Amino acid sequence: MRHTQVYNPYLPSFEYVPDGEPHVFGERVYLYGSHDRFHGAQFCLNDYVCYSADVRDLKNWRYEGVIYRKEQDPRNQNIPADTPKPELASWDYTDPEEYGPEDWNGPGIHAMWAPDVVRGVDGRYYLYYCLDFLPEIAVAVCDTPAGQYEYLGLVKHPDGTPLGTREGDLIQFDPGVFLDEDGTVYLYSGNDANEGTPDIDRRASQVMRLRSDMLTIDGEGKRLIPGPRNCEGTGFEGHSFFEASSIRKIGERYYLVYSSELSHELCYAVSEKPDEGFRFGGTIVDIADFGLAGDTKEEVLNCYGNTHGGIEQINGKWYVFYHRQTNRTNYSRQACAEEIVFEPDGSIRQEPVTSCGLNGGALRGEGRYPAGICCRLRGKNGVAFSMPWVMKKDYPYLTQDGPDVEPTNETLERDWTEPYQYIANIADGSEIGYKYFEFAGAKKLGVTVRGQADGVVAVSVHRPGEDREIGRIIVRINEAEWHDREGCVEFPDGVWELRLKFEGTGSFDLRAVEFGA
């Protein structure tokens, strides 16, 4: 099936590919990222997969399959069966009672965290990654962008010592790799944190040069942009480096995209050199619209957690790729994207999160849409950090029916392929929003719901300087199965944000919205 529209998330609703790094190779854009497991108990439990799209058609993404398996790394091989699970990090909260064996990696198996890929001067493709809390960076190689990558080795010092293991080495984390026009390969890495974090003196943003073997660093690495402990007076205050280095050269400037100390935003720094002199540029996107909608959890639009991604020029336009949170955790994250705009001075303005993403404009206000493409999801008391012990059942959230699955179809049936995603726990005061729809004659709105609730859904449209309530849908339901409800709604023509707000008792789930004439 060929899709004529695309929305956020732009991959199938049962796919969880966070940390997305987009790269154009030839006539296709390839998305590389880590791979979460739905209802996973930790980050990045699945193997690396790749998706791609024709640069002239970002509405149809092709599943390229698994490109690299975690067991291919020698550090994950021949693990004794009685090896215990890794200890949880000090910042984590995972209740083992909530999860079965399928929600963890096997004993002793390390997860593959956020990767990056570069085409080397030899024409081959090199994938750089870290295994969860291990200190090194590993490299795999392939002759094609989305083929079967093979383990190559660990990034190392000239004496052969793996980078990250020598006394004085910084901890390696979230590698980003870049081939400059003169043939020099730069490797970016690191994470930073506040005082009190373990190994705090070994945490920082850093850059290194690689030799032509793509494994050996040339000389010593350099610290690059400031973190929370050393940003005072630098211009990075409040948005200093946390993790997720991603580098692009645009004109004569280098843009380093990173996840800031806030974690839920992607920021950028800019310099005329690839390895020094970076100045703070601004925020590109925030998954809760902090800074655009407001600065507190009572004002912003979505539950928040980490995000990670990069920017890429595709067919003459620039986009930022990032991820959002689902399932009341940080462990089931989904790929989203927005078009971005460079100002004449080279700065990038912050873009709001939207439902239409890569669509090239508003979605058509006709037909049926998954409820989960919302870009506004708030409870009566605003939003919260995306973890069960914070959100509890006090907020609406995105989730899916059924277990984690892998796609097997060559053409993605994005809309209603099971298991489908839906919005759960919609209670009194819950708000759901979609940016943007273009209406032309729609006069009805249907919702597909289940649960136990008695009330109304107020339907309104919004754009700058104009807010209208345009109808109401009665939701009186006591059903475990999905049922349709419909109301007469006079949609005004033009491009609008659509909002739904529930007023009533009980709670219900929402699977779809449907516009009718």
Active site residues: 19, 243
State the burial class of residue 424 (Cβ atoms within 10 Å of its Cβ: 0-12, 13-18, 19+). Answer: buried
CA distance 59 to 361: 12
Q: Is 307 helix (H, G, I), strand (E, B) or coil?
A: coil
Q: Is 161 helix (H, G, I), strand (E, B) or coil?
A: coil
CA distance 40 to 42: 6
**Residues 101, 178: contact at Cβ < 8 Å?**
no
**Residues 244, 252: contact at Cβ < 8 Å?**
no
DSSP strands (E only) in 136-205 = 138-142, 150-154, 176-179, 185-189
Residue 59: CB atoms within 10 Å? 17
Strands 265-271 and 376-378: unpaired
Residues whose CB is less than 8 angstroms from the CB of residue 509 and which lie 6 or more positions away in sequence, other chains included: 422, 423, 424, 425, 426, 449, 450, 451
Question: Which secondary structure element, helix H or strand E, spans residue 248, and what is its range?
Answer: strand 241-250
**Residues 314, 325: contact at Cβ < 8 Å?**
no
**Residues 447, 434: contact at Cβ < 8 Å?**
no
Calculate the CA dihedral of residues 272, 139, 311, 208 and round it to 10 degrees: -20
Helices then strands, counting H and E runs in the chain, come out as 1, 28
| Tokens encoding 40 | 């996973």
Q: Which of 299, 298, 300, 265 is nearest to 281 (CA)?
A: 265
Paired residues of 239 in beta bridges: none
Phi, psi of 460 (to 5 degrees): -140, 160
| C-alpha neighbours within 13 Å on the C-beta side of residue 421 | 29
